Amino acid sequence: MLNNIKKTIAYARRNGVSDAIVATAERLRDRRNDNYTYVPPTEEELTKQLKWYRALLNDPAKSKMLPFISILVPCYNTDKHFLKDMIDSVKNQTYGKWELILAEAPVTKTNESGKQVKIYPLTDWIKKCSVGDGRIRYLKLKDNAGISENTNGALDIARGDYIALLDHDDLLTRDALCEMAIAAIKNYPKLIYSNEDKCDYEGKNFFQCHKKPSFNPDMFLSNNYICHFTMLRSDVIFGCRFRSEYDGAQDYDLFLRAIGDTMWSKDSKKQVVHIPKVLYHWRMHDNSTSVNPASKSYAYEAGRRALRDFMNSQGINAEVEHLKHVGFYRVVYKSDPFVERKDLGVIGGKIVDARGTLVGGNYKENGNIRYEGLPKGFSGGYQHLAVLQQEADAVDVRCMKIRPELYGLYQAVFGMNYVDTTSEGTTVIAAQGLGNEREIKEKCIEFGKRVRRLGYHIMWDPELSTKI
């Protein structure tokens, strides 16, 4: 309760009391509707995974298929019970071809003589937790050089085909590594990520499941929704490494660079693979950003800089702004977006009714409306998806911009010359002769299909809006 009050006060200071009231109303509604229950894999499923792993492991011709996974865990003054829980969650995996690298940074204290000394409080505890398991490796870091350099220290001794990232106080589900290994074998992708949820201090109760989409480039440019659990191919992460100037958002900076050259390519979803299962429990406690995002406010500015610098490195002239919700961003193109991004074919906005309720704009290929019925001022849940720029299957002609190369296709599908309907006063003109709501939607979805068939992306930008 106290943390929720702190969040509300911080939000009001950033965005004003009116917006804070709306955000609180949405949070209360979402909490009432949150009926999530984590369902762990069944014993039958776990047994099946164990048999699969052992069958390949014991077959000399096939055992090489199994990726060796290095799990990096930088540790600093970690709660020992949290650490033990984390280690146990790795030891209990159904997949066994892994190493867990625990890189402990020293705590500096003043001794009785007034001299500064470095202490490693976890050494004995880690040895106790890892008795009998040579896969657990302990590294004493010379200094506490920050999260990026501490993680690089663990990376330097990693031997895996893939490198997985795990926080020192969080938990893996028992099937996590096996699911990751299966995905690695199938496609040998650059990056694999899963769904996640949060757990309480005791690690017993689970809530706020983050069901992530398959890779969505524009959404990823709005927020590091990939987050946990993530595994990268070793050649990719060794080529990028962590950069200390982005501490706090070091993972976001790494992921952007790791997949940057394939982000908008046709095979991006083969190179960036999503496992639609919860494989990671993010523990809530007083020092965790899962409880109090403001506790690491510097991280959100680091994320903004990482995103801005990435866009510039791609030759895209853009600035990055913070949204109302910490850790979420908006890319602002300094010139024509269709000039800045050759992959971009269409930009669309939201369609709202007289009350400001969202009634259209972002369409799935099957005709369903994303975020349909969302009230004015609401953001779309705790992940704020409805206020983020994102790739869409189709957008609405009544709030649409397109690149010149698509003018002919526009005329063929909609039966009229292109009109920029994001400009004020053009909505009625654009809607003439298009038919009823069902017919308009059908034409929009057909246009979207044909645009994507030509290799272009479609971006939905919720800051563009048309009232009907």
Task: Answer whether 429's CB lies under 8 Å from 318's CB.
Answer: no
Residue 319: how many other CB atoms lie within 10 Å: 13
Looking at the chain, the whole-number percentage of residues with pLDDT higher than 70 is 89
Q: Which of 253-257, 381-385, 392-396 has the lowest mean pLDDT?
A: 381-385
Which pLDDT band, with edges at 50, 70 and 90, does 365 fall under?
Answer: very high
Query: For residue 426, what pLDDT is reported?
Result: 54
State the DSSP code for 369. Answer: B
Which pLDDT band, with edges at 50, 70 and 90, does 297 fall under?
Answer: confident
Which pLDDT band, with edges at 50, 70 and 90, does 11 fall under?
Answer: low
Query: For residue 3, what pLDDT is reported?
Result: 55
Candidates 400, 413, 421; CA nearest to 443 is 413
Candidates 210, 340, 219; CA nearest to 281 is 210
Summarised one tens digit per residue, pLDDT across range 234-291 is 999 999 999 999 999 999 999 999 999 888 888 888 999 999 999 999 998 765 554 5
Query: For residue 187, what pLDDT is reported?
Result: 87
Q: Which of 112-116, 191-195, 313-317 has the lowest mean pLDDT?
A: 112-116
CA–CA distance, 400 with 431 (Å, rounded to integer)? 12
Task: Answer whether 324's CB lies under 8 Å from 299's CB.
Answer: no
Summarised one tens digit per residue, pLDDT across range 108-132 is 888 778 788 899 999 999 888 888 8
Buried b (16+ CB within 10 A) or exposed e, 194-211: bbbbbbebebeebebebe
Query: For residue 436, what pLDDT is reported?
Result: 87
Summarised one tens digit per residue, pLDDT across range 73-96 is 999 999 999 999 999 999 999 999
Q: What is the mean pLDDT of the chain?
A: 90
Q: Is 49 exposed, middle or buried (0-12, 13-18, 19+ CB in 10 A)?
A: buried
- Average pLDDT of the residues in 435-444: 91
The CA distances from residue 423 to 399, 419, 459, 464, in Å, are: 8, 9, 17, 10
Task: Answer whether 237's CB lies under 8 Å from 163's CB.
Answer: yes
**Is it the case that residue 210 has pLDDT exceeding 70?**
yes
Two tokens, residue 396: 């609405």
Which pLDDT band, with edges at 50, 70 and 90, does 143 fall under?
Answer: very high
Task: Answer whether 209's CB lies under 8 Å from 228's CB.
Answer: no
Task: Answer whether 172's CB lies under 8 Å from 280's CB.
Answer: yes
Query: For residue 367, what pLDDT is reported?
Result: 92
Please report the sign of the dihedral spanned by the C-alpha atoms of residue 282, residue 254, residue 79, residue 85: positive
Residue 377: how many other CB atoms lie within 10 Å: 14
Which pLDDT band, with edges at 50, 70 and 90, does 415 fall under?
Answer: very high
- Average pLDDT of the residues in 24-30: 69
Query: For residue 468, what pLDDT is reported?
Result: 86
Which pLDDT band, with edges at 50, 70 and 90, does 296 fall under?
Answer: confident
DSSP element (H, E) containing 12: helix 2-15
**Is it the case that residue 2 has pLDDT exceeding 50?**
no
Summarised one tens digit per residue, pLDDT across range 301-311 is 999 999 999 99
Residue for token pair 């004003």: 16
Candidates 349, 341, 446, 445; CA nearest to 403 is 341
Residue for token pair 């600035």: 319
